[in-house]
Structure 1
């Protein structure tokens, strides 16, 4: 079984490949979803087990790449595999360089699932790493930032890599990094639980600045988020409203790949949201590389 000939000519546009026994091969491209008339047998699926040892969460990384395999089994035989084809886009964060080079108090990248937060985060790490080098610790929750194998992707450069792999281990790993390695900055992808927020709060109390991603479509939705109120302690709010400065001051709202809104002072921006006003942001585009001011509501539809 070989999927490569099916996607070779459009590999740069491939986002995900789904291989299921006795079903057509599915390929999700950036702008298309295509079914190919090739149906692998269970014998074909056995080839996928030769890639390496699957973890308990059904995941497996490909050494030296950002690609990740996810597996489901039937009667202890691999019956479904999804291949997440991740890419490193060098230059994706270049329009944000003026803000990143001056950032002294943390960065929050906000966006909906699939908007491109992690892709942007990789390139943000590259720019921050130019001045922070090994004092920037990348705590890789699901090993999606720098790769899931023992051998990292080449974009690692001088960054200090902390593979976690299982989000349930994130709290203990983050605390271990803070206690044992004295990082100046720490990167955390997918802040999604109270434990994540506690670990970030602990890091901040030790003087560590944090770069993190949040699932939210706007500052207003992040402020109003009610599921376990995970982000409230990071925004520094309670039922009455804002109680202190946000855990990071530079905010980047990802509208899509290469399309961002920059909030230079998140504390002031969230205070505007709390007061029922529209926070002012600077819209930035990789394509145009020309910032201009615009109100968030006009950008969030």
Structure 2
């Protein structure tokens, strides 16, 4: 254990990961440097009254043997960006996401500090589809890397193909926090969204006002957003988006999002056709 701590001290921490560490109270920041290799860090979890922990692939590492206090949470909240209506904040010009858990009176009682990384080259696996001009929907469970892939697709289209790319960035997770986007999105432009409830309106605004060839959007989750996505695609603009789900079947049975696949229509079969198919008439 002592050897692992010594190795961690000698590792050169990436500047963006270091900015995340600096948002922590000093004792937790020291423990993070001593116990965690920066390339393995996935997220830091701080819950009021529980020991703070850092999560790395396959395990959790305690950062202290004393519980998190209200002052610890306040320290972090004061050292990151402003929390939005979706209880998410960031650190300026980084891709990290800080999400808050609040009690019934609105006070923060928990924080999840998720590490964001721009990984160049992740879009190569889908390069042929991306450059074809077809709209793309990326499905997967949370934390699997959809946003990382989305960011790389935006950079690929904007930098290498010189297309007009506009990112609708509701939680500042694609382009990072602050008014100047993270260099990970290349020359793509980024539109921020005041509140998640307005995401669908900003999607349409992007098409009408900024003449994009490509619209990039993360986490389509409401019926209005699905309808806006379909409208964008019908206007001849390439759409690259993500949604939560494992398979297309998951999306088809989701009444809110199945419009992304064209929707489901009910039909009535004749008695003979229903018997032939072995199904009900409608």
Q: Is the TM-score greater than 0.5? A: yes
Whether 1:6 and 2:6 are equivalent positions in the alignment is no
After superposition, give the CA deviation of every residue in 1:159-209 in whole Å (9 maximum; x if it has no partner): 010112632111111111111111111011111111011111222233211
Partner residue of 1:231? Answer: 257
Partner residue of 2:119? Answer: 89
| Equivalent runs, 1:1-301 vs 2, <5 Å | 1-2=25-26, 3-8=28-33, 9-36=36-63, 37-51=65-79, 52-73=81-102, 78-101=108-131, 103-133=132-162, 135-164=164-193, 166-223=195-252, 225-226=253-254, 229-240=255-266
- In the alignment, the residues of structure 1 paired with residue 82 and residue 222 of structure 2 have an alpha-carbon distance, to the nearest angstrom, of 28
Do the aligned residues in 2 keep the contact of 1:67 with 1:86 (CA within 8 Å)?
yes
Cα distance, 1:7 vs structure 2? 2.9
Computed over aligned residues only, the root mean square deviation of the Cα atoms, in angstroms, reads 2.4
Cα distance, 1:214 vs structure 2? 2.2
**Stretches of 4+ moved more than 6 A in 1?**
none
The structure where strand makes up a greater share of residues is: 1
- In the alignment, the residues of structure 2 paired with residue 231 and residue 43 of structure 1 have an alpha-carbon distance, to the nearest angstrom, of 41
- In the alignment, the residues of structure 2 paired with residue 76 and residue 203 of structure 1 have an alpha-carbon distance, to the nearest angstrom, of 37
Of stretches 209-218 and 37-46 in structure 1, the one that deviates more from structure 2 is 37-46
- In the alignment, the residues of structure 1 paired with residue 74 and residue 151 of structure 2 have an alpha-carbon distance, to the nearest angstrom, of 33
Partner residue of 2:12? Answer: none
| Structure 1 pair 239–65 and aligned structure 2 pair: CA distance change class (3 A) | same
SS in 1 for 2:39: helix
Do the aligned residues in 2 keep the contact of 1:133 with 1:159 (CA within 8 Å)?
no
- In the alignment, the residues of structure 1 paired with residue 99 and residue 228 of structure 2 have an alpha-carbon distance, to the nearest angstrom, of 27
After superposition, give the CA deviation of every residue in 1:19-64 in whole Å (9 maximum; x if it has no partner): 2333211222122123332434333333224224333433221001
Query: More relative contact order in 1 or in 2 (CA 8 Å, sep 6+)?
Result: 1
The structure where helix makes up a greater share of residues is: 2
Q: What TM-score results when the alignment is normalised by the length of structure 2? A: 0.75
Cα distance, 1:154 vs structure 2? 1.8
| Structure 1 pair 221–42 and aligned structure 2 pair: CA distance change class (3 A) | closer
Residue segments in structure 2 that go unaligned for 5+ positions in a row: 1-24, 268-276, 278-282
- In the alignment, the residues of structure 1 paired with residue 241 and residue 210 of structure 2 have an alpha-carbon distance, to the nearest angstrom, of 19
SS in 2 for 1:14: coil
SS in 1 for 2:138: strand
